Amino acid sequence: MSHEPIKTGPAEEMSKVQAAELRRLPAEATDPKSVKVQKTTGQGVDIAWKDGHVSHYSFAWLRDACPCATCNEEREASGRRLGEATKPKPGALPMYKDPARPAEIVPVGRYAINFHWNDGHSSGIYSWEFLRRECPCESCRLSRAAQG
Ligand SMILES: [Zn+2]
Ligand SMILES: [Zn+2]
């Protein structure tokens, strides 16, 4: 996996500050102010957090980031990163997969949501903290890269 070179200068300082802040994850950072699931358009999930940050998650990303034990093990075994699409096995024909979409979205208490995916998988419990920690936006990605 090649990493984007990290830019030097103020942006780097910024992301260091953000990284330090992210490590702590204050309550308002993991508490959604609003959650929009764009199921009909297939756009994914938008979360506005109480600390002002806004996150967008595509359904494909969410499916490939499934935090259940089975998917964690599969990612570890194949070296796939969270939210990264599965690669076809070397030599195997690429298989057409329907784009990931939730058939059902179930709130889990006040701390998480659970997706019933169109491929039948439904064991992932996506906590707000997990979603915020793994926010795929560019500034969060840079912060995580800065953390190593
Ligand atoms: Zn899973
Ligand atoms: Zn973010």
Domain with 85 in it: what CATH number? 3.30.2020.30
- By residue range, what is the domain housing residue 60? 10-89+97-147
Give the predicted TM-score (pTM) of the model. Answer: 0.79
Residue 138, domain member (yes or no): yes
Answer yes or no: is 114 within a domain: yes
- Give the span between the Cα atoms of 65 and 32, in whole angstroms: 19
In a domain, 44, yes or no: yes
Q: How sure is the predictor about 98, in pLDDT bands with cuts at 50, 70 and 90?
A: confident
**pLDDT score of 87 more than 80:** no
- Average pLDDT estimate for 61-80: 96
Report how far residue 108's alpha carbon sits from residue 144's, in angstroms, rounded to the nearest whole number.
27
pLDDT at 81: 92
- Residue 4 counted as domain residue: no
Residue 27 CA to ligand 1 centre (angstroms):
26
Q: What is the pLDDT of residue 130?
A: 96
Percent of the chain whose predicted confidence (pLDDT) is above 70 = 82
Q: What angle do CA 26, 106, 111 make, to 5 degrees?
A: 20
For the segment 6-38, what is each residue's pLDDT rounded down to a tens digit?
555 566 655 655 555 556 688 999 999 999 999
Smallest-distance ligand from the CA of 47: 2
Residue 32 lies in a domain: yes
How far, in Å, from the CA of 33 to the mean position of ligand 2?
A: 15
CA atoms 130, 117, 58, 78: torsion sign? positive
Give the number of the ligand closest to the Cα of residue 116. 1
Average pLDDT, rounded, for the chain: 87
- Total domains in the fold of the chain: 1
Name the strand (E) or helix (H) holding 107: strand 102-108
Which ligand neighbours the alpha carbon of 124 most closely?
A: 1
Mean pLDDT over 58-67 rounds to 97
pLDDT at 106: 95
Q: Is residue 5 part of a domain?
A: no
The answer as to whether 3 is a domain residue is: no
Q: Which ligand is nearest to the CA of 137?
A: 2
